[in-house]
Amino acid sequence: MSQSGIESRIADLIVAVLRDRDESLGPDDLNRPVAELDLDSLDLVELHQHLERALRVRGDLNDTARFAYLSDYTAYFSKLASQG
Amino acid sequence: MSAGIVDLATAKPGDRVDNEHFTAIGLTDEWIRRRSGIASRSWLPEETPLSEVAAQACAPIVTRAGSAAGIDALIVVSTSERQRIPGIAQRVALLAGLDASVLALDMNAACCGFVYGLVLGLSLCDAGRARTVLVCSTEAMSRMVDRTDRQTACLFGDGSAAVLLADRPEFSGFCHTAGCDGSQEALMRETEAGGIQLDGMQVYDRAVRRMSESAQYLFDHGPAPTVVVGHQANGRILEQIRSFNAHLGVPFVNRIEHSGNTSSATIPLAFAEELDAGGIPAAGRLGAVAYGAGETWGGVAVDYRLPAVATP
């Protein structure tokens, strides 16, 4: 899969997880600050774990817990997926 | 022969504390439910000795077993019992009506205590060192938390539960896994000022991983459990574990709603509640998995066959 294909898949995964939490969230919210979204810290752990499982990679929660934007997850996990 | 669980009893006396109690520290019912799945919990009065609550769980089992059953050992698991000398087990033995010849000891392995207690008790039975063993978890976590701490005050509850272990011809051998990592002790610890400090995100992540791994181990080694009861730390942890392990095809019990996190007592309390609700049959194979401070983790698969009267 191409890099853009991986990134597109990750974005879709993130949006799917977000919509489980809040149906009003969508692709446009990937570029909003995490702090502005109605997500708690456990939502972010769940997002991290879902991405790991879907992509069959292992990330570091210490890294992703610091992300300010959901799009940071896309870049981080696409890098892991392309390495894997 | 192999040992398994042949009786079960619980005790959850005390005051029922619902989520409205925490509006005083700025928490809403909606937030607590969403964050933890907890709606209410029991808190013991300060003056109630934990040994009495443990004995309330043990005594019905002792009565049902009768003197001929030969309860040779009592393992009382507790993280929250403050008194160290003497230990709590001897008092529980007395109050529950056990014979003076019983081997009675205290044990603390934080939230993994019940799983570890089962492993020790089953080992005593299978080795022929005890005819039957009583394992009782008893906790008053409300006495450990800082009740003004918005992160932890609403999470914890109090309660006791006990199981009787004995050989039965129809039981398969138990299976267990366990581990610890002392380098992670900062994840969950009692603070010097009083209260419990939690690294919520890391604990959530590691609890899901460790309990999922332990559950998978139990399915990969020996007869498969017919039900899995994980440490009831947080409803979201339990649902994540259930989701990640759906392929195992058995019920994953989530009974945290009206108990909260009772540390080592969560597994037998949830098991009893699920049985009482008819969610699982009175005979089967329990897979109990836990994760806790230390850090500790582990799981045990054990057959059970319970009498009809063994309800909470």
Using CA coordinates, name the residue in chain A closest to B207.
A45
> Which of B34, B201, B236, B244 is the best substitution to test chain A (most A C-beta atoms within 10 A)?
B201
Do residue A61 and residue B205 have CB atoms under 8 angstroms apart? yes
Q: What's the predicted TM-score (pTM) here? A: 0.95
Distance from CA of A7 to the nearest CA of B (A): 23
pLDDT in tens, B145-190: 999 999 999 999 999 999 999 999 999 999 999 999 999 999 999 9
The share of chain B scoring above pLDDT 70, in percent, equals 98
Residue B68's pLDDT is what?
A: 61
Domains belonging to chain B, first-starting first, are 2-168 (3.40.47.10), 175-305 (3.40.47.10)
B111 is catalytic: yes
Residue A26 pLDDT grade (very low, low, confident, very high; cuts 50, 70, 90): confident
Query: A42 to chain B: which residues are within 8 Å by CB?
Result: 35, 200-201, 204, 234, 236
The interface predicted TM-score of the complex, written ipTM, equals: 0.89
Residue A29 pLDDT grade (very low, low, confident, very high; cuts 50, 70, 90): confident
Query: A65 to chain B: which residues are within 8 Å by CB?
Result: 201
Query: A47 to chain B: which residues are within 8 Å by CB?
Result: none
pLDDT in tens, B216-228: 999 999 999 999 9
Residue A21's pLDDT is what?
A: 83
Query: A21 to chain B: which residues are within 8 Å by CB?
Result: none
What secondary structure, in 3-state letters, does chain B show?
A: CEEEEEEEEEECCCEEEEHHHHHHHCCCHHHHHHHHCCCEEEECCCCCCHHHHHHHHHHHHHHHHCHHHCEEEEEEECCCCCCCCCCCHHHHHHHHCCCCCCEEEEECECECHHHHHHHHHHHHHHCCCCCEEEEEEEEEHHHCCCCCCCCCCCCECEEEEEEEEEEECCCCCCEEEEEECHHHHHHEEECCCCCEEECHHHHHHHHHHHHHHHHHHHHHCCCCCCEEEECCCCHHHHHHHHHHCHHHCCCEECCCCCCCECHHHHHHHHHHHHHHCCCCCCEEEEEEEEEECCCEEEEEEEEEECCCCCCC
Distance from CA of B210 to the nearest CA of A (A): 13
Distance from CA of B128 to the nearest CA of A (A): 44
Residue B309's pLDDT is what?
A: 65
Give B312 or B7, the one with higher predicted confidence: B7
> Which of A39, A49, A51, A61 is the best substitution to test chain B (most B C-beta atoms within 10 A)?
A49
Do residue A61 and residue B201 have CB atoms under 8 angstroms apart? yes
pLDDT in tens, B249-297: 999 999 999 999 999 999 999 999 999 999 999 999 999 999 999 999 9
Query: A46 to chain B: which residues are within 8 Å by CB?
Result: 236, 240
B231 is catalytic: yes
Residue A18's pLDDT is what?
A: 87
Residue A37 pLDDT grade (very low, low, confident, very high; cuts 50, 70, 90): confident
pLDDT above 80 for B311? no
Residue A23's pLDDT is what?
A: 86
- Which of B231, B234, B245, B254 is labelled catalytic? B231
Do residue A40 and residue B35 have CB atoms under 8 angstroms apart? yes
